[in-house]
Structure 1
Amino acid sequence: MRDRRRAERAGRVGETAAAWWLRLKGWRIVARRVRTPAGEVDLIARRTGLVAFVEVKRRQTSAELDFAIDQFRLARVAAAAEYLAPRYLEPGDDMRIDVILIAPGRALRHIENAWIG
């Protein structure tokens, strides 16, 4: 139980760091931790004409990040994004699935358009 709480806290710290990084890049965070029947989206960010559904993974080492995201996890985020699209997209908007990977002492890694489904 303690490990679960620690992981949850670390995940929230990672999501906050990712949200700030996106803001610095000109994105507006419109939602955090949105749950759907299909899965959860960590961050939903908007920029002119584009909405990004963002999966954030934080690990203790950069080596662990190599295994933090896979097609199964991306498919769940994509399914949740499809569910949420009518709520967050405006007419003419494009959407994409992004991943942000974070490890202490390493530069944040932003993978744009990570899901091509």
Structure 2
Amino acid sequence: MSGRVSYYSGLAAEEIVARDYERRGYMLREQRWRGPGGEIDLIFEKAGALVFVEVKKARDFALAAARITQRQVDRILTSASCYLGRMPAGQNTQMQVDAALVDGRGKIQILENALAF
């Protein structure tokens, strides 16, 4: 996949996932937020709790999940920790890190608390 096609495919996957979370009552706080560890695709809030979401798109869910590397997890957690520092309760803010997998047909599979602190 070319860089441009991959970029727009990723944006489309993020939009699909964002709509799903919003339908379930989550408020989108940030999209493609960049912290010291790198980019967090989506950040939502619901009832004072934050949800950091890593979106991965591939032909099927297994391939999408396989694209999440340990190095990437470490970078996401570093950035999430920085974001928590901006919150009134700081590191005590209730939060979770989800993986949102999107297959080639646009179907979504959410893995809640997939990436743990």
**Length-normalised TM-score, structure 1:** 0.87
Identity of aligned pairs, percent?
27
Stretches of 4+ aligned residues off by more than 2 angstroms:
60-63, 89-93, 104-107
What whole-Å deviation, never above 9, does each CA across 1:19-62 have from its counterpart, x for those lacking one?
A: 00000111000110011221110000000021011100111233
Partner of 2:17: 18
Q: Distance in 2 between matches of 1:101 and 1:84?
A: 23
Equivalent residues in 2 for 1:44-59, closer than 5 Å: 44-59=43-58
Question: Contact (CA 8 Å) 1:32, 1:42: kept in 2 or not?
Answer: yes
2:33·2:42 contact (CA, 8 Å) conserved in 1?
yes
Take 2:2 and 2:9, find their aligned partners in 1: how far apart are those partners? Answer: 10
Q: Which moved more, 1:97-106 or 1:73-82?
A: 97-106
- The total of aligned residue pairs comes to 115
Q: Where does the alignment leave 5 or more consecutive residues of structure 1 unmatched?
A: none
Q: TM-score, normalised by structure 2?
A: 0.87
Question: Is residue 84–residue 93 contact of structure 2 (8 Å, CA) maintained in 1?
Answer: no
Structure 1 vs Structure 2 CA RMSD: 1.8
